[in-house]
Amino acid sequence: MNQLHTRRLNWPVRYSRCLILVFALFIQRGTTAQEVYDLSRCIQYGLEKNFGLQVVRNREQVARNNYSPGNAGMLPVVSTSNRFSGTVNSTIQNPREGDEQLTSSGIHNTSGSAGVTAGMDIFRGFQVRYTYRKLGELSTLERLRTQQSVEDLVARIVSEYYHYIEQLILFDNLAYAVSLSRERVRIDEQRYLLGSASKMQLLQSIVYLNADSSRYARQNEVLRSSQIRLNELMSIENLGQEFFLSDTQIVINENLRFEELMTLTQSQNTSLLIARKDRDISRLDHKIIESRAYPYLAVSSGYGYSYNGYESGNLYNQQVYGMNYGITLGIDLFDGFNRKRERDNALIGIANSKLQFREVEQEVRADLLNIYFAYENNLRLLRLEEQNLEVARENLEIALEQYKLGSLAGLELREVQKSLLDAEERLISVKYMTKLAEISLYRISGRIMEYM
């Protein structure tokens, strides 16, 4: 009779074991011949290959190209024009007197000209100087925007890097949960064969084992998705490429101080630097518009040569060559009040840039306060969850011994096991949230590149 029960029993147990074995082999096969990345290498790949960052850098290059004396109007403009033309005419002349009609045909006349001219603005009411300074500020502004994009990308890569580590730790915790459930099935199977446990208890243990195995399998999908997102941030051509990370734990800097972070934020925060630069550009726009009220002085000079050839008439050809020069002095007396309108709008632009700077400054300070509060609170939670995990592990050891002795019910053991798994998940979640707060503090204070 016991042999019959054993045969009926063995198929779900064997099925569960085969399922776990096949899944373990699948995981092992998927982790062979993989790349090994550390955080610095991931960041370096992203900074070199990320497509969005390359677009931003191209825009910065355009701004650098535009920052030139010629674009500001400081250099003379030299041009040349050359032309050659000809005519083929026929003429019929009828005199008033009785003379004969005069006819000529196919008369080919030619003409050509060549010249070089040069012109330059000597004075434009400081407009050229302010324009050149504005081009320099625009170049710096694009550099700051590139820097902001770099910092955003680094923060995203660091966050995803540690998110993968978080999911990897959860994966290992679930593997441990599966091993505990498998041990419980082994204990219940032996008890059932010895007649000290019911079949229902054994089947319930198998259900728990399959449930834990299912969560274990789903966690592998989460790991794979995190790998793909990290490959996307690094612009790896093969998005499905698998890799190992050299880090296996989330290490947190617990020594960040608010006063130091505030000082760094006020001097290094990229958003504040961009807002300051926008304010400076608004002031230069106002000065450029005011410069239009000054007189302007321009000089020009040139050298020309012209040739005319005739097939009829008294002259065979004619050549003219020489130079020309000129000085232009002028002032715009009235332009329909457009300059006044533009000046008033420029003053409004300056006021808006000051308000926007104060708004950005307030937002940055508020973000710093909120993130630092979350950082400190998560550090306190981290200590609490570490204690909870130690208690949960000790409680599980006691529960397993009692279960082996038969003094603890299966449902109670499951609750203890679930408490341990929950404690591990809460701890790694708090660690990751603390790391995210740390990353945000590094980002807002301009220290994000220290992760390289």
Locate the DSSP E strands across 225-340.
Answer: 243-245, 296-309, 317-330
Number of independent structural domains in the chain: 1
Write the CA distances from 161 to 95, 132, 155, 156, 437, integer angstroms: 101, 43, 10, 8, 15
Residue at 136 is within a domain: yes
Q: Compute the distance between CA of residue 304 and CA of residue 324 in angstroms, rounded to an integer.
A: 8
Flag whether 96 is in a domain: no
Nearest alpha carbon to residue 332 among 321, 342, 319 = 342
Measured distance CA(280)–CA(264) in Å, rounded? 21
Answer yes or no: is 59 within a domain. Answer: yes
Residue 44, classified by CB atoms within 10 Å of its CB into exposed (0-12), middle (13-18) or buried (19+), is: middle
Tokens standing for 133?
A: 């300074």
In order of 152, 364, 435, 441, 445, the CA distances from 371 in angstroms are 16, 10, 11, 7, 11
Q: Domain range for residue 18?
A: 2-67+124-295+331-451
Per the domain annotation, does 52 fall within a domain?
yes
364 assigned to some structural domain: yes
CA trace torsion 26, 29, 34, 36 (10° rounding): 70
Q: Where would I find the H helices in 327-409?
A: 338-405
Q: d(Cα 36, Cα 243) in Å, to the nearest integer?
A: 6
Alpha helices in 38-126 (DSSP H): 39-49, 51-66, 69-72
In this structure, what CATH number is given to the domain that contains residue 199? Answer: 1.20.1600.10
Residue 157 near residue 46 (C-beta atoms within 8 A): yes
Residue by residue, pLDDT tens for the chain (452 residues) are 444 343 334 444 444 444 444 444 444 444 445 678 888 888 988 898 888 889 999 999 999 999 988 888 888 888 998 888 888 877 777 776 666 766 777 788 888 888 899 888 888 778 888 889 999 999 999 999 999 999 999 999 999 999 999 989 888 888 888 888 888 788 878 877 877 667 887 888 788 888 888 888 888 888 889 889 998 888 888 888 888 888 888 888 989 999 999 999 999 999 999 999 999 999 999 998 888 888 888 898 988 888 887 777 777 788 888 888 889 888 888 888 888 898 899 899 999 999 999 999 999 999 999 999 999 999 999 999 889 888 888 888 888 888 777 777 777 777 888 888 888 888 988 999 999 999 999 999 988 988 87
